[in-house]
Amino acid sequence: MITKAKLKHKDRINLNTFIVLCIALMSLTTSCDSAKEQNKIPVYAWVGGPGESTDTEIKENFEDLKAKGIDVLMYNGGQNPEVYKRVGKIAKSVGLGFHTWIPTMVQGRKDELKPEWYAVNRKGESAYDKPAYVPHYTFLCPSKKGTQEFLSNMYRKVAAVEEVDAIHLDYIRFPDVILARGLWDKYGLVMDKEYPAYDYCYCDTCTTSFKEKSGIDILSVEDPTQVTEWKQFRYDLITNIVSLLTEVVHSEGKQINGAVFPGPNSIAKKIVRQEWDKWTLDAYFPMNYNDFYLEDTKWIGEVTKEAVTSLDNKKPVISGLFICPNPKNKTKENDPENHGLLPEELEDAIRESMENGAAGICLFTPNRMTKEHWEAFEKAIYKTY
């Protein structure tokens, strides 16, 4: 009896000690986790869907991304608000931020959009039936009332969805009047100046409105590429679209941000007419895709610094990073779309971004990340820069 009682007592002590130890360990790991989380840099990711995926499949994918360290999705799911409601609910249930990634000036042909609302190049060809470079380059003209109304209504409906935290604009620009250097070979072009086929918009609305404003008849100018006012006029057309959409989205109580070309001065203004340091967005996601410009990871730091400085450090800059999907084949690949950061470059790219003032990074795309990329990524994101 005594022995048994003693044993019982001893067991109880052991059990109590065990419980105390467990609690101590649990709080230790929790505090380790929260310390780890506190040092974590914000990570965004461009992703698309949902295709034919079921809710369970979407949830599993989102849980996986969350576990890997992604905080916010820039989700491309078309223009139907119902899709964003469904997918946004799942994103929220796993603790992810949810921004809708929807192209702006590039719009496919559809009944709602009149052919005359599309942009016209210096040769007089419309992007509606003769798009530059690739078939999907069906850019709208920013001057047209129809364009403005279509975009306002489309983004307003999506911003009104409860699960949507922010609208993410993309293709908020003119077609590339100059292609990024890394793309010249792919398209067999030497873009040493602004050529007529890629120079937009010379529609009646744009040219008339410019004449009223400046007194210059751009159609009668021998070399329009030398007219500074004409360049500024077109930067302003895009800036005005951004202002309009900012008002629409803010009136729904949501944030608005956008994917932009690096710069703005070094690249964005020159090649796609984005004077984005004048814009009204809540955050900027420069696509610091070094391989497209035949540059290295050090350049990512330089353009991040330019972005942060241009915005006077007043708005967050999230550095967009382009991932190489098949690192072993990179040197054999001719198409820059298959280039991008190798696993051994990723830590450097993240460090360059963060040390130069970025408020986070954005991956293009998680699907392109290999096992080796994720390993390098984990080392780089739980750090104070």
How does strand 255-260 pair with strand 283-286? Answer: parallel
CB of 143 to Zn ion, least distance (A): 5
Cβ neighbours around 13 below 10 Å, total: 10
In angstroms, rounded to a whole number, what is the distance separating the alpha carbons of residues 66 and 68? 5
CB of 128 to Zn ion, least distance (A): 12
CB of 155 to Zn ion, least distance (A): 20
Strand partners, 45: 73, 363
| Nearer of residues 55 and 204 to Zn ion, judged by Cβ | 204
| 3-state secondary structure at position 48 | strand
How far is residue 93 from each of residues 56, 86, 89, 229, 235, measured CA to CA in Å?
Answer: 12, 11, 6, 50, 40
User: Listing from the earlier edge strand, what are the strands of the sheet with 318-322?
Assistant: 283-286, 255-260, 166-170, 97-103, 72-76, 43-48, 360-364, 318-322
| 3-state secondary structure at position 143 | coil
| Nearer of residues 105 and 203 to Zn ion, judged by Cβ | 203
CB of 206 to Zn ion, least distance (A): 3
Q: Give the residue from 305, 291, 284 showing the smallest Cα distance to 352.
A: 305
In angstroms, rounded to a whole number, what is the distance separating the alpha carbons of residues 372 and 364? 16
| Nearer of residues 206 and 350 to Zn ion, judged by Cβ | 206
Pattern 194-233, Zn ion, x by CB under 5 A: -------x-x--x---------------------------
Judged by CB under 5 A, which of 104, 107, 138, 143 binds Zn ion? 143
| Nearer of residues 141 and 177 to Zn ion, judged by Cβ | 141
CB of 95 to Zn ion, least distance (A): 44
How far is residue 376 from each of residues 97, 329, 342, measured CA to CA in Å?
Answer: 23, 19, 10
Q: Give the residue from 159, 168, 163 showing the smallest Cα distance to 75.
A: 168
Cβ neighbours around 291 below 10 Å, total: 20
CB of 104 to Zn ion, least distance (A): 15
Candidates 48-56, 142-150, 260-268, 335-343 — which segment interacts with Zn ion by CB under 5 A?
A: 142-150
CB of 138 to Zn ion, least distance (A): 14
Bond from prior residue into 32 cis (ω within 30 degrees of 0): no
Residues 101-140 that bind Zn ion (CB under 5 A): none
| Nearer of residues 151 and 203 to Zn ion, judged by Cβ | 203
The count of residues interacting with Zn ion (CB under 5 A) is 5
Helix (H) or strand (E) holding 306: helix 297-310
* 141 is a contact residue toward Zn ion (CB under 5 A): yes
CB of 144 to Zn ion, least distance (A): 7
Strand partners, 170: 103
CB of 229 to Zn ion, least distance (A): 16
Inter-residue contact 209 to 151 (CB < 8 Å): no
Contact positions vs Zn ion (CB under 5 A): 141, 143, 201, 203, 206
